[in-house]
Structure 1
Amino acid sequence: MGTKLTQLLICFWISLPFCVTQKAKERIPRQRDAEFTDKYQACVQGVPGVQGRDGNPGINGIPGTPGIPGRDGLKGEKGECVSERFEEPWKPNFKQCAWNSLNYGIDLGKIAECTFTKQRSDSALRVLFSGSLRLKCKTACCQRWYFTFNGAECTGPLPIESIVYLDQGSPELNSTINIHRTSTVEGLCEGIHAGLVDVGIWVGTCADYPRGDASTGWNSVSRVIIEELPK
């Protein structure tokens, strides 16, 4: 019994230094790791460095594939039809017919005529007669000078006319009351179709008055002027 106890004690004293040395070896690496961690974790952050320059632009990428075609849109509303009208610039169109000393003494009928070519149907005609007019009578009388277009008086809007009225006369037609005066008959007529137009100057009676002794174009020039005007 004593011998076994002695052997155990000898073994303990022999193995004790080895165990202590092994534990010391294991503790030294762990201590180094702890010291390394404490050293670098506790460092103060340094001043930021200078910002770097921009790099060179990159090259173009590979082109993408075509997209899917779009669908048709909704049908729009029906538009209004607008027609543009292009007209040529207006060109003057006029004519003059003149007579020297007509000395036309009729009391009823056509005195003179002037044919005119009208270019457009939507235009108007301006007409003018200038000449000497005279009226004689025993009692009150009235004569009327007027224009016709292809034989008819103007209706667009009204006739073109002038009148001469004489209130006091003499017992005889060859009395001294025999005054010839240059007068005019002038106006605009609309609604006349394009083409040839016979423009006439006529003499006739006034409504509700007797006819007198009329004279047109005595000893002077008479003229008719026709001009086509845009509306």
Structure 2
Amino acid sequence: MMSPLIARLLLLVCLALPLYGVEKVRNRGYRKDPDADKFGSCMQGPAGTSGREGNPGTNGIPGTPGIPGRDGLKGEKGECINEIFEEVWRPNYKQCAWNSLNYGIDLGKVADCTFTKLRTDSALRVLFSGSLRLKCKNACCQRWYFTFNGAECTGPLPIESIIYLDQGSPELNSTINIHRTSSVEGLCEGVKAGLVDVAVWVGTCADYPRGDASTGWNSVSRVIIEELPK
């Protein structure tokens, strides 16, 4: 007779054999191919050369105009500045000259010079330069002055020069007979624009008798007129 231990071993072997066959069949259906990892994915090769840039594309369809913007806020009121453009001043002058006037009158016009004044709001500068002389028996005084269109300057005062002699010789043809180059000069305002007759006169001084006057002896005499801006 078989021992109980051997009988138990035989029973376990009989039970285990069918289960081993089934597991083997199952594993055979799911066996992994050893070359699956080798051929199932591609290996990355070296990078290729860069391609050329493509041709520029054509312009797209123009967009529709946008919505007009709103008016901005009203600005502050600006300051009003008046600009004054002044006309460029151009020189305007004239000279009249005489060689040896030798004018021996004691009262009256000695010389004149016409001048065209361009503007009313300007001033005239006048100058007489020449030899003057006075002689007399007793005290005497002579006056040389300018006129403008026959009237002396009033803007602001007359333009004049005087010679006073306190004493002389008993006769007018004495040796006291000095001729000196002198000048009469000044600035006159208020003369209207246009043609102006500028003249030099000789006359007496107030409250003094006249003497024997002489103008422009043996020398050049001149009148210079210049228009100046105020």
- For Structure 1 versus Structure 2, the TM-score category normalised by the shorter chain is 0.5 to 0.7
CA distance in 1, matches of 2:112, 2:26: 151
Residue 131 (structure 2) aligns with: 132
Query: Would the alpha carbon gap of residues 206 and 25 (structure 1) be closer, same or farther in structure 2, given more than 3 Å must change?
Result: farther
- Per-residue CA shift, 1:30-64, capped at 9, x if unaligned? x35995499749x6x65444333322222222222
d(CA) in 2 for partners of 1:134, 1:218: 9
Aligned pair partner of 1:23 in 26, 34, 39: 26
Shift of the 97–32 alpha-carbon distance from structure 1 to 2, 3 Å rule, reads: same
Is the contact made by 1:96 and 1:225 (CA closer than 8 Å) also made in structure 2? yes
Equivalent positions of 1:101-116 (< 5 A) are 101-106=102-107, 110-116=109-115
The aligned residue for residue 118 of structure 1 is: 117
Letter aligned with residue 143 of structure 1: Q
Question: Any conservation in 1 of the 2:135–2:176 contact (CA below 8 Å)?
Answer: yes
Q: Which has the higher helix share?
A: 1
Q: 1:168 to 1:26 in 2, by over 3 A?
A: farther
What's 2:78 paired with?
Answer: 78
- Percent identity between matched residues is 55
Contact 1:104–1:218 (Cα < 8 Å) also in 2: no
1:32/1:104 CA distance change after superposition, 3 Å: farther
The two structures have a TM-score, normalised by structure 2, of 0.65
Q: Which amino acid aligns with 1:27?
A: Y
- The aligned runs of 1:116-195 (5 Å cut-off) are 116-150=115-149, 151-153=151-153, 155=155, 159-195=158-194
Partner of 1:8: none
State the number of aligned residues. Answer: 211
Q: CA RMSD in A?
A: 4.2
Ranges in structure 1 where 5+ consecutive residues have no aligned partner? 1-11
Structure 1 residue 119: Cα displacement: 1.0
Offset of residue 206 of structure 1? 5.3
Partner residue, 2:12: none
Q: Kindly provide the amino acid, as one letter, of the partner of residue 179 in structure 1.
A: I
* Partner SS, residue 68 of structure 1: coil
